[in-house]
Amino acid sequence: MKRESALRAILDSEDEVEPVKVEALRELNLICDLQQTHFVELSGPAQEIAERVSGEMLSLHASLTVAVDAQGNAHPVIRAFALHLLVYIVIPSLRSSIPGAIPRFTYASPSR
């Protein structure tokens, strides 16, 4: 990012000669091409990982919502935690995620 900023500064400078600006533009284009290539390479695995984490989060929530104590009664602490996950992580994350894009995970802290 520092190199990219420096190259943009060269392009914006009125004091730089044209050959230097041409070389800066060429290098800046190369950087942009590399960023695009690596983004495409990484976006697939990132999508898969995010979807897996999302699925595991929903699975964890489902397990916690049916937790019982040793006597078979609803476990008050674990079920309260399940509700907290639902209200402050699961729902906000679903709302902030764009369908078809990499899921976003959000924590909406409770207001005090």
Q: Note the pLDDT of residue 50.
A: 83
Q: What is the pLDDT of residues 37-94, one digit of tens each?
A: 777 676 777 778 888 888 899 999 999 999 999 999 999 999 999 999 999 999 998 8
Distances 66 to 59, 74, 79, 84 between C-alpha atoms, Å: 11, 7, 7, 14
Q: Note the pLDDT of residue 60.
A: 95
Q: Note the pLDDT of residue 77.
A: 96
Domain range summary for the chain, segments of one domain joined by +: 2-96
Please enumerate in sequence order all residues whose Cβ is within 8 A of that of 95, keeping only pairs 6 or more positions apart, or say none: 106
Q: Note the pLDDT of residue 85.
A: 93
Q: Note the pLDDT of residue 61.
A: 95
Sign for the CA dihedral angle at 40, 45, 49, 52 comes to positive
Amino acid type, 67: A
Count other C-beta atoms under 10 Å from residue 24's C-beta: 19
**Both tokens assigned to 107:** 């924590």
